[in-house]
Structure 1
Amino acid sequence: MSQAGHWYAIENRKDKHCALATDLNALYQNGSFQQTLSLPDQIGKGYWQKTSLNTMLEIMVCDIVLHEELSMSSTEQDDWMKICFCLGEGMQWLSTDTHRDYGIASGEVTAFGRAMTSSTCQFDPARRFHSLTLKLDVNRLMQAWPVASLEQQWARLTAHDSLYDNKKMTPLVRRILHEMLDCPYQAAVRRMYLEGKVLELLAVYIDEILREKDTLPREVTLSKTDLTSLWQAKQIVDANLLSPPSLAELSRQICLNEYKLKKGFKQLFGLPVHAYVIDQRLEQSRRLLEEGSVNVTYAASMAGFNNLGQFAEKFRKKYGVNPSAYLKSRGFRTV
C-alpha cells in the first residue's frame, strides 16, 4: 500500500528480480512530498518523480530514454481518476482487464480510472518517453468543488466500455504543463505553486470537455491487425519526417487501404498524417531550442521549415509562445 486506499505493483516481464521494478514500487509507496528516481546509467537516462501535493492530488512525471527494450506490467487498485499528458513519443499498451490494445500519441491526453487497472507496456530503446500524470481523488475533489462535468467524466471512465478517453492537448494545456515542469520554487512554496497549477490544469481540462461534448467525430472500427499496421505507419513517418511518403505509398507499405489509413491514423494518434508530420517537426525544433545549441533559424531549418514566419506561427499555435521567446525563457540567446 502506498497510501490508504492505494495499491500498486510493477513488474519486469522478463526479469522477476529487476532492481528497477523494485525501485519503482518503492517510489509509488513513498508518501513524502516529492521523491525522484533516476534511471541507472547502464539502463538509460532520465527519471521518474512523484509529488504528493495533498490527500487528493498527486503528480507523477516520467522522462526517460532507454538503451534496450523494456517490458513492464503494472497493476493499480484505487478509486482515483488518472489524467496522463503525453509530452514525448507515443506509447501503446495491452490492458489485461479488457484484453485490448490501447495507445496515446504525442501531444495527447488520456483519462482513466477504475477500481483495478492492469496493463503491460513495452518501452522501445532510443525513444523519449515523457509524460505527466495527475492522480485525483474525485470524491474529495467533488466535496471541495462540486463540478458536474467532472462527476460525469468520472462516471464515463468507470463504465466498462470507457476504459480510456483520449483527447488532443491544446496550446493552453501545454503552457500550463511546461510551467509545472519548470517550477522554480522549493519546499512549501513549490507545493503551493503546483497545487494552484494542478487546479488550473484541471479547470481547463473540464472546460475543454464541455466545449467538445457535442462535436465528437464518428470513429472507424479498427481490428488488432489494423492497429498494428497503423503503428507501423507511424514508425515509417517518424523515421522520415523531412521527406515522408505519400498516403498512397504509405498505404502500400503497411498493406492498409487509404481510407482506413486516414481515418484510423487520426483516430489513434489524434491528427491526420500530414498534420502529424508538422506536429512532430515542431516538437523536433522545440527540443533543439531547449538544448540551446542552435538559434531559431537553424532549428526551423533542421525541422524542415523553410519559411521562418510560417514556422513561428505554427510554433506559437502549438506551444502558446513564439520560438524566440521560448529560447529566451531557457536562458539562451535568440540570435
Structure 2
Amino acid sequence: MSYQDLPEIYINHLLEQAEEQPLPYILKQIPLEVGSVKAEEKKTRQGICWFDWEMRWERDMHVEKKGNADTDTIQLIFFLNHGMNWEMEHLRQPVSMEAGECCIYRDAQTSSIGDYPGGHKMLFKSLQIPVNVFDGLVGDILERDAGDRMKRILAGFHKMTMTPDMYRMIREVNNAGRYQNGLASLFLEGKILELLTVFLDTLMQPCHGIKAENGLSRTDLLMLLEIKDRIDKDSASVPGISQLAKEVHISPSKLTKGFKKLTGTSLHAYVIDQRLHHAASLLEEGQMNVSEAAMCSGYSNMSHFSAAFRKKYGVLPKNYPVGKC
C-alpha cells in the first residue's frame, strides 16, 4: 500500500500493527512526507504507562483507532500546545480539546477517530492506567459520593483546564532520566502517582460540582470559575482587576476576595503564575526565543519578565530548560 495516493489509509493500516510490534518501531516507518510522530514510553512496576508525544502531520490527518478486547485502561491526556477533535463510538457528540486542557475517560474496547490538524507541532502527554490498578489505587480512598461520581465520569468523557500544579508535575515526571537503574523507576512511579493525585483532586473538587462553599454563593462561584477558566486559557490577555471586575459587574474588592477564597491565592499572583507557566512551555518547545515567549505570555518589559521567571524557576529564561547552554 502506497502512502502517496492514500496517506490516511496507509497510516491507519500502519498503526494497526502497533498491537503486534513495538510502537517506536511502527512510528519510525511513517514517511517524513506524511509526518513525524515520536512517542517516548515509560512504565512503572504497576503497569502504568507514561507517553511523551511529539507529533507533526504535514496535512490534516484522521487517525482511526479500532477497539481492542484486551484494552481496558483509564486514559489521562494533557494537551500542552495544541488541541484536536475526537469522535468516540460511545459518545453521541464529538469531543473538542484545546491547548491547556486535559481529559479522563475509560478506554474499554472503544473505537475512535482523531482529527489532527496539519502543519502544527503537537506536544501532549498521556497516562494509561489499567482499570484494576486504578481501582486498587483509588477505590478504597474515595468516599461513597465521590466514588459514585467517578463512575459516572468514567462512563463518558470529562475534560478540564490544566492547573499550574499539573504543569509542574509533568515537568517533574520528565526528570526521571536523571536517576539510574531502579531509582529512576522509583522516582517515576512516585511522580506519576503525585500527578494522578493532583489531577483527581482538581477533578473531585466541590467547585466542579458547582456547589456553594467558603461563603461563596452558587452565582458567585460560577462567575469566579468563568474568570479562572479565562485566565487558564489565555492569561496574556487578562485585563487589570478593575477592568475585569467591571466586565463581570462586581466590585474589585468582591472579585479579589472571592478569587482568593476559591483558589487560595490572589488573582494577580494567579495570573502571573499562569503567564510564567505559559512562557516556560513555549521555551520548552524550542520554537521561540526568550523575547517572543515573553511577548506571547503577556510581558512587554523584559527585565520584569526575567526577574519573575528567575524567582519562580531558579534560572534566567535564556537558560531554560535547566541545563541549556
TM range (shorter): 0.5 to 0.7
Cα deviation, residue 113, structure 1: 0.9
Please say if 1:209 is aligned against 2:199.
no
1:37 to 24, 27, 33: 27
Query: What's the secondary structure of 2:118's corresponding residue?
Result: coil
Q: Which amino acid aligns with 1:123?
A: Y
Task: Give the conservation status (yes or no) of the 8 Å contact 1:83–1:111.
Answer: yes
Q: How big is each residue's C-alpha offset from its partner over 1:59-111, in whole Å with a ceiling of 9 and x where there is no partner?
A: 23321111122111213443321111111201112223333111222111100
- Percent identity between the two aligned chains: 19
Q: Aligned partners of 1:193 and 1:70: how far apart in 2?
A: 36
1:283–1:101: structure 2 CA closer, same or farther, 3 Å change rule?
A: same
Q: Which residue of 1 aligns with 2:313?
A: 321
Query: What's the secondary structure of 1:85's corresponding residue?
Result: strand
Report which of the two has the higher share of strand: 1
> Within 5 A, what are the aligned runs for 1:35-74?
37-38=27-28, 39-74=30-65
Q: Which residue of 1 aligns with 2:193?
A: 199
Q: Aligned partners of 1:166 and 1:138: how far apart in 2?
A: 19
Aligned length: 264
Q: Which residue of 1 aligns with 2:241?
A: none
Q: How big is each residue's C-alpha offset from its partner over 1:225-271, in whole Å with a ceiling of 9 and x where there is no partner?
A: xxxxxxxxxxxxxxxxxxxxxxxxxxxxxxxxxxxxxx9xx79x953
Q: Which amino acid aligns with 2:39?
A: W
Q: Which amino acid aligns with 1:157?
A: I
**Structure 1 unmatched runs, 5+:** 1-13, 219-262
> Within 5 A, what are the aligned runs for 1:121-270?
121-143=114-136, 146-148=140-142, 151-152=147-148, 154-159=150-155, 163-184=156-177, 185=179, 188-210=182-204, 212-216=205-209, 270=229
Q: Aligned partners of 1:215 and 1:158: how far apart in 2?
A: 15
Cα deviation, residue 177, structure 1: 0.6
1:271–1:118: structure 2 CA closer, same or farther, 3 Å change rule?
A: farther
1:281–1:120: structure 2 CA closer, same or farther, 3 Å change rule?
A: farther
Q: Aligned partners of 2:276 and 2:76: how far apart in 1?
A: 26
Q: Aligned partners of 1:131 and 1:186: how far apart in 2?
A: 25
Q: Aligned partners of 1:164 and 1:158: how far apart in 2?
A: 6
Task: Give the conservation status (yes or no) of the 8 Å contact 1:27–1:50.
Answer: no
Q: Which residue of 2 aligns with 1:75?
A: 66
Q: Aligned partners of 1:174 and 1:202: how far apart in 2?
A: 12
Q: Which amino acid aligns with 1:179?
A: E
1:330 to 318, 322, 325: 322
Please say if 1:93 is aligned against 2:86.
yes
1:204–1:42: structure 2 CA closer, same or farther, 3 Å change rule?
A: same
Please say if 1:291 is aligned against 2:286.
yes
Q: Aligned partners of 1:315 and 1:36: how far apart in 2?
A: 39
Q: Aligned partners of 1:206 and 1:303: how far apart in 2?
A: 28
Q: Which amino acid aligns with 1:130?
A: L
Task: Give the conservation status (yes or no) of the 8 Å contact 1:108–1:270.
Answer: no
Report which of the two has the higher share of helix: 2
Q: How big is each residue's C-alpha offset from its partner over 1:294-313, in whole Å with a ceiling of 9 and x where there is no partner?
A: 4x456424666213466469
Please say if 1:120 is aligned against 2:113.
yes
Q: Aligned partners of 2:206 and 2:310: how far apart in 1?
A: 26
Q: How big is each residue's C-alpha offset from its partner over 1:282-303, in whole Å with a ceiling of 9 and x where there is no partner?
A: 7467434653974x45642466
- What TM-score results when the alignment is normalised by the length of structure 2? 0.64
Query: What's the secondary structure of 1:113's corresponding residue?
Result: strand
Q: Aligned partners of 2:35 and 2:157: how far apart in 1?
A: 29
Q: Aligned partners of 1:90 and 1:16: how far apart in 2?
A: 19
Q: How big is each residue's C-alpha offset from its partner over 1:27-66, in whole Å with a ceiling of 9 and x where there is no partner?
A: 455589x978345422223402333434541223321111
The Cα RMSD (Å) is 4.0
Q: Which residue of 2 aligns with 1:300?
A: 294
1:271 to 219, 227, 230: 230
Q: Aligned partners of 1:182 and 1:117: how far apart in 2?
A: 32
Q: Aligned partners of 2:236 and 2:301: how far apart in 1?
A: 18
Task: Give the conservation status (yes or no) of the 8 Å contact 2:41–2:49.
Answer: yes
